[in-house]
Amino acid sequence: MTDNQRAGVGASPYRIDGKIKTDGKAEYIQDMDFAGLLEAAILPSPYASARIRGIDCGAALAVPGVAAVITGADVPGFYGTTIQDRPVLARERVRYVGEPVAAVAARGKEAALMALNRILVDYEETAAVFDPEEAADPTAPLLHEDLMTYEKEPIVNAIAGTNICSQFRLRKGDMEKGLALADLTLEESYEVPRNHHACLEPYGVIAQMEREGILHIWTGNQSPYVMQRSIAALFGLTWNQVRVSIPALGGGFGSKIYPSLEPLVVALARKTNHRPVRLLLDREEDFCRVTNHGCKIKIKTGVTRDGVITARQMTTYWDTGAYADCGPLVARNSGFTAAGPYRIPNVSVDAYSVYTNLPVATAFRGYGIPHLTWAYECHTDHLARKLGMDPLEFRLRNVVRNGDSSHTGEVLRSVGMKACLEKAAAAAGWVAGKPPRPVDLGDGRFRGLGLACSWKGSMRHYGSAATVRIMEEGSVEINVSNVDMGQGSSTIFAQMVVEEIGVPLGRVRVQRADTFMTPYDRTTSASRGTFHAGTAVRAAARDAWRQIQDHGAKVFGCAPEEVYSRDGKVVNPKTGEGVSHGALLKKAVIGGIDVIGRGYSQMPGGTGLDLETGQGANPTSFWMYAAQIAEIEADTRTGQIKALKVYAASDVGKAINPVNCQQQIEGAVSMGLGIGLMEELRFDEKGRLRNGNLHDYKIPTAMDAPEVEALLVEVAHPLGPYGAKGLGEAPVAPAAPAVANAVYLATGRPVWRAPLKPETMKKIWQEAGEEV
Amino acid sequence: MPEASLWGEKAATKRRVTITVNEIPYTYTLPVDLRLADFLRECLNLKSVKLGCGAGDCGACTVLLDGRATPSCIVMAVEAHGKSVLTLEGAERDRLIRALQVAFIEKGAVQCGFCTSGMILTLAALLRENRRPTKEDIKRALAGNLCRCTGYQRIINAALAVVSDGL
Amino acid sequence: MSQTVGPAACQGDSFGYEAPGSLEELAAILRSEAGGERTPLFLAGGTDLWVDLRSGKKQANLVIDLKQLPELSGVREREDETGLGALLPIHSLESLPALGREGQALREAASALGSYQVRNRATLGGNLGNGAPTADMAAALIALDAVLELWRPDGSGRRVAVTDFWRGAGKTCLGPQEVICRVWLPRRVGWSSAFLKQGPRRAMDIAIVNAAVSLKTVKGVIADARVALGGAGATPLRPVGAEAALVGQKPSMAIFRRAGELAAEVSDPRGSGRASREYRLSLIPVLTERALTLAAERLTSQDDKKVARVK
């Protein structure tokens, strides 16, 4: 059997959703049909900071076809992922350009836009602040005077009288002592500007107050149960009155984890006599809905002459925008990994999540790790050069190993960091101690290699549940609320069921998440799907298989544990004959019954982190490790950098589906290269986004795509299903600094700010007088 | 409902057009500012045509207009009068497109799927024009079809597989 | 302060579309609209126009689609020149045999424009008519000594050298009712040409700077040269000083570098969100020099074989 005909764990069968997608039949929000559907439109704030003196909606309501017009006055309450700081529509003041000030539901988008044109808003512009470091200063204009009285999650550590909505502190060892031990210290500042998820599918949501009292929301969201509970709390409903159904997602990457505009659409839907309301954002609106964080990073490291890191101090300013969303969590969860995958006895991290008058920054694949990796990995190469040491050798000397203590005091197990470095280096032909020499191609062009590595924690343990239903005719349904947004999790779950139950893959269907049908799962984020939802699915499959064995025992007249499966059939151990699952069930249960297996992922031992020291023995379910080597060509006369090839190694624990793992790595590398080479949201001096479209905001095209050699390292995790760890996020981070380090090795020019656009690089090379 | 265009509340005039879509001729009287993509999606329910940007920047709405890969979001339906359109829904008997669909699955070129229809139709147009495109030709043809999931490598490999199968 | 979103309201107006089937019909439409309320805009490929209308960047109440005009279509060959219909899709130029060896710059410019889909839709005339200083067709046509044939509703056509077409930022010499019919390229036996473009990415982008050049050598000496630049000023630019410096010289890195410097001296690019003035200025000598090198390498006439490889 070839690999793709096998379908169990470790094989690479074709994706179970491949056919509907290549037929163009997968149904995304924009494809759904509803009778009586109303279209919503949002009036955005034109100011980054202003008081609202008055709103007049009279003329808007008079537009034919308008069903509802709402403003902040119509929707009380606040929402927010970590801090309840956000009104559904602006009340009294606006805090960023694009903030919803009013919204309309009407028959047809034309009528909705016409109504928006007739809403008069009286603004008084006030002072704004856009830079997170400036915003953190106590003299900066305050975005939220009520910061200290908002409801908050326990991890939030706000600083009164400032725009710092949360501070994360980590203290390990003795910084002064550590620096004193160093022969050499290097202090640098780095920056990664705001960039954007740019899912190919623009965001959309549909909401309906159904006649029987159910609030039904269809949204391309990664966390249906978080959505259900947030919406229920905001609108005073019980959880079982809120149904969240998830259609196909055209990418997520963190942009769809938390409630964003869903509350607004629900607020409209409550005023439309049970008619469904749909909000489909234009691409330009989508750019302002949520973005990635921008970040400024200060890093100081002490090393001995032999290349041993003695101390590292980091201060980071996260631009979280006008509302906190998950900003405090990004600062915290990236904060405890900020010093990088290195053994460092003395570590200090201060991470600030800071309000600015820019759109809301949210989760982005990697949750801050790509920003930090950019800083500490460029920094690592700068240190290596000062030491006169090969960057690979320097890393191999310092990276974390099994049994090491993490920066929070966790004893690390199943660590694949060194293995990833070695695998990437072997593939690229980079021998430790002998850094590859750049090649001078003439006319100002150079070719060279660069290296970077990274680690990422997932998140603490949160529960996931699943059921596996075997129908009497032999088909199987997996019910799980993990959202397959393109990462391929539904195929992974189906493979687990094949592995455990022995049914053919073609008989397995994975339900789309729906809070009325599929059981609880916290969220599809933090690369946790395979690990947690997978654990639940495997447990449910095993539970279902035990029931099949029980039925088999009755029918075959044997002990349950003697019943086994072979080639998609349940085998009678006495005769060796196989029957289909369906045929067995028919015989076993007259009148028919579905077998339902239940499974949970509830793991022991998660801890929080101490608010003062950031110490904690088990802050994350698992760690991910990645190392990449990029081969680039740099044209110093035009500033153009071309990524030619990336050798990308990731520790996946166990590859349930190796091809799927490679797909994740390849896509992650492309995203990382975008961050490193071209992606940057440009805001003007008034906080207006100047490149909010897919022409002016550059993401890599097929022409920019390098060849990626995805390399799998398998250091099994004791709690992961079949040993698997998560994967999706970690390989985003090393790509950009690997390119930067290749540029550094090839041309000798250090860089500190991403992205390395041709214009930026040309300037750097010109100033260095290196233009040929 | 108000008679309004999406462009500045100007009521668009209407024109009678006949467009052959997936080999069936349709005659409609349409506002002149109705995009071909909206005509296909809303009037004919052909939802394989995805709307990603509305500005010809992403390629998700690519259809074949008289055989040419065309962004249907920046073409008005009236401009397609007298022409023929092919979407994936009409490709069941098209051997080349079928081969591309199979290759996309087999080479792992599909992730979220939102760009997939446009990718397949773009490649079909390319391969009809040039039976033996190089890898560079394929990359150039795909440059207008953005994908955020795959990094493109497997999409390019799927196209190369169809080329080497000589279909 | 109050606020309106989207394009300004102008109720009562209608939005019309006409698709004349001949220049006669077009003339009739324009005559009937003359002095009327409606401001017509001409539509060719529509890759920019429809987007600009939808975003409110442009306003119109009548769009006249030129795509049905046979007079603007196809390729016409004459003994001493080739006429490219203004409606030719950019994509068709990428492999057009009629361009000959000397027309390589236009093929390359066509390949560098937008995406495959956009090239299928966008037209030669539309790319020029936009008036953008970075239009990829513009530099290539200047380097190839193109002449534009324009049409007016009263039948008084005229021919304009492509260098006279642009009249300042976003402005062209086209009258409000004037249409580009055809682009004429003179036969230039023994010439070679090349086009290079620098954008933020390797595809899909408007040029930051582009450069097109053409060269003719006689007995190993440059007998004539054209240099054209996009993104180097408010209009596409022809730095004649750079051309003059080339004539009478043997092709060499040194002379090409000198030409690049001279080209930069007369350039006056503007800074924008896409690129700063300084960056554009710094690219001009590099792209000019490299395009000249490429063109020189392409000189294949018997006479010039010995200098075909530039040292």
A contacts of C1 (beta carbons < 8 Å): 122-125
Q: Which of A601, A630, A657 is the last residue before a domain boundary?
A: A601
A contacts of C204 (beta carbons < 8 Å): 695, 701, 703
A window 663-722, beta carbon within 8 A of B: 663, 666-671, 693-695, 699-703, 705, 707-708
Domain total in chain A = 3
- The reply to whether C150 and C179 lie within a common domain is yes
- The reply to whether C39 and C125 lie within a common domain is no
CA A631 to chain centroid, in Å, comes to 26
Q: Which of A233, A266, A289 is the last residue before a domain boundary?
A: A289
- The reply to whether A692 and A762 lie within a common domain is yes
B57 interface with C at CB cutoff 8 Å: yes
Q: Classify burial at B36, counting beta carbons within 10 Å of its beta carbon; exposed 0-12, middle 13-18, buried 19 or more.
A: buried
pLDDT of residue C304: 47
Residue C33's region, left for phi above 0, alpha for psi from -120 to 50, else beta, is: alpha
Distance CA A358, CA A393 (A): 42
pLDDT of residue B4: 43
What b-and-e string marks burial along C43-62, b requiring 16 or more CB atoms within 10 Å of the CB?
Answer: bbbbbbbbbbbbbeeebbbb
Task: Give the residues of chain A that fall short of pLDDT 50.
Answer: 1-4, 771-772
Say if residue B91's pLDDT is above 90. Answer: yes
- The reply to whether A94 and A236 lie within a common domain is yes
Q: Please state, as a whole number, how many other Cβ atoms lie within 10 Å of the Cβ of residue A225.
A: 21
DSSP one-letter string for B128-142: HH-SS--HHHHHHHH
Distance CA A687, CA A173 (A): 41
User: In this predicted model, what pLDDT tens digit does every residue of B145-167 receive, in sequence order?
Assistant: 999 999 999 999 999 999 998 76
- The reply to whether C120 and C82 lie within a common domain is yes
C4 interface with B at CB cutoff 8 Å: no
DSSP one-letter string for A600-633: EE--S------TTT---S--SS-EEEEEEEEEEE
- The reply to whether C173 and C95 lie within a common domain is yes
- The reply to whether A525 and A568 lie within a common domain is yes
pLDDT of residue C11: 34
CA distances from A648 to A292, A342, A420, A624, A626 (A): 23, 19, 8, 13, 7
Specify the CATH number for the domain of residue C284. 3.30.390.50
Specify the CATH number for the domain of residue C91. 3.30.465.10
Q: Which of C161, C186, C211 is the last residue before a domain boundary?
A: C186
- The one-letter code for the residue type at A264 is L
Q: Which residue of B has its CA nearest to C57?
A: B7
Helix%, strand%, coil% for chain B, nearest 5 = 35, 20, 45
Say if residue C301's pLDDT is above 70. Answer: no
Specify the CATH number for the domain of residue A237. 3.90.1170.50
Q: Which of C151, C186, C221 is the last residue before a domain boundary?
A: C186
C300 pLDDT band, cuts 50/70/90, is low
Instruction: Please tell me the distance in Å from C153's CA to the nearest CA on chain A.
Output: 36
Q: Is the peptide bond before A755 cis (omega within 30 degrees of 0)?
A: yes
The dihedral through the CA atoms of A566, A568, A572, A575 has a sign that is negative
B70 interface with C at CB cutoff 8 Å: yes
Specify the CATH number for the domain of residue C15. 3.30.43
Number of inter-chain CB pairs under 8 A, B vs C: 115
Say if residue C137's pLDDT is above 70. Answer: yes
- The reply to whether C76 and C181 lie within a common domain is yes
Q: Which of C169, C186, C203 is the last residue before a domain boundary?
A: C186
Q: Is residue C269 part of a domain?
A: yes
User: In this predicted model, what pLDDT tens digit does every residue of C158-188 receive, in sequence order?
Assistant: 999 999 999 998 899 999 899 999 999 999 9
pLDDT of residue A541: 98
Q: Which residue of B has its CA nearest to C56?
A: B7
B75 interface with C at CB cutoff 8 Å: yes
Contact predicate A164/A324, CB 8 Å: no
C272 interface with B at CB cutoff 8 Å: no
Q: Which of A729, A759, A767, A771 is catalytic?
A: A729
Contact predicate A47/A90, CB 8 Å: no
Instruction: Please tell me the distance in Å from A63's CA to the nearest CA on chain B.
Output: 8
A123 interface with C at CB cutoff 8 Å: yes
Say if residue B123's pLDDT is above 80. Answer: yes
Specify the CATH number for the domain of residue A567. 3.30.365.10
Contact predicate B76/C53, CB 8 Å: no
pLDDT of residue C34: 83
Contact A701 C283 (CB under 8 A): no
Q: Is residue C306 part of a domain?
A: no
Contact B78 C51 (CB under 8 A): no
Higher pLDDT, A74 or C55: A74
B contacts of C126 (beta carbons < 8 Å): none
B3 pLDDT band, cuts 50/70/90, is very low
Q: Considering only CA atoms, give the Rg of chain B.
A: 17
Beta pairing class for C147-151 and C179-186:
antiparallel
Cα dihedral C185, C191, C192, C195 in deg (nearest 10): -40
C275 interface with A at CB cutoff 8 Å: yes
Say if residue C10's pLDDT is above 90. Answer: no
Q: Classify burial at A529, counting beta carbons within 10 Å of its beta carbon; exposed 0-12, middle 13-18, buried 19 or more.
A: buried
Say if residue C5's pLDDT is above 60. Answer: no
Instruction: Please tell me the distance in Å from B27's CA to the nearest CA on chain A.
Output: 23
- The reply to whether A445 and A479 lie within a common domain is no
CA distances from A565 to A498, A562, A593, A595, C37 (A): 10, 10, 20, 16, 80
CA A485 to chain centroid, in Å, comes to 11
User: What pTM was estimated for this model as a whole?
Assistant: 0.96
- The reply to whether A541 and A482 lie within a common domain is yes
Q: Is residue A97 part of a domain?
A: yes
Touching C (3+ Cβ pairs <8 A), the chains are A, B
Range of the domain at A553: 18-27+462-601
C54 interface with B at CB cutoff 8 Å: yes
Calculate mean pLDDT across residues B65-75.
98
A402 interface with B at CB cutoff 8 Å: no
**A729 catalytic per annotation:** yes
C13 pLDDT band, cuts 50/70/90, is low
Chain B interface test: which of A3, A17, A22, A670 (most B C-beta within 10 Å) = A22
Q: Please state, as a whole number, how many other Cβ atoms lie within 10 Å of the Cβ of residue A295.
A: 28
User: In this predicted model, what pLDDT tens digit does every residue of A213-238 receive, in sequence order?
Assistant: 999 999 999 999 999 999 999 999 99
- The reply to whether A429 and A528 lie within a common domain is no
Rounded to the nearest 5 degrees, what angle is found at the Cα of C248, between the Cα atoms of C244 and C249?
Answer: 95
Q: Which of A289, A309, A339 is the last residue before a domain boundary?
A: A289
Q: Which residue of C has its CA nearest to B75?
A: C46
A701 interface with C at CB cutoff 8 Å: yes
Range of the domain at C22: 2-65
B contacts of A17 (beta carbons < 8 Å): 110, 113
Q: Is residue C307 part of a domain?
A: no
Q: Is residue A311 part of a domain?
A: no
Contact A662 B108 (CB under 8 A): yes
- The one-letter code for the residue type at A648 is A
Q: Which residue of A has its CA nearest to C4?
A: A117
Nearest to A734 by CA among A377, A428, A277, A474: A377
- The reply to whether C102 and C175 lie within a common domain is yes
Distance CA C147, CA C186 (A): 8
Q: Is residue A351 part of a domain?
A: no
Cα dihedral A311, A317, A320, A323 in deg (nearest 10): 110
- The reply to whether C38 and C119 lie within a common domain is no
Q: Is residue A606 part of a domain?
A: no
Contact C54 B79 (CB under 8 A): no
- The reply to whether A411 and A491 lie within a common domain is no
Calculate mean pLDDT across residues C64-82.
96
- The one-letter code for the residue type at A368 is G
Domain total in chain C = 3
- The reply to whether A748 and A762 lie within a common domain is yes
ipTM for the assembly? 0.96
- The reply to whether A241 and A120 lie within a common domain is yes
- The reply to whether A449 and A471 lie within a common domain is no
Contact predicate A200/B147, CB 8 Å: yes
User: In this predicted model, what pLDDT tens digit does every residue of B27-50 receive, in sequence order?
Assistant: 999 999 999 999 999 999 999 999
Structure token pair of residue C269 = 């690019």
SS3 B73: coil
C39 interface with B at CB cutoff 8 Å: no
- The reply to whether C172 and C201 lie within a common domain is no
B contacts of A699 (beta carbons < 8 Å): 146, 148
Q: Which residue of B has its CA nearest to C52?
A: B55
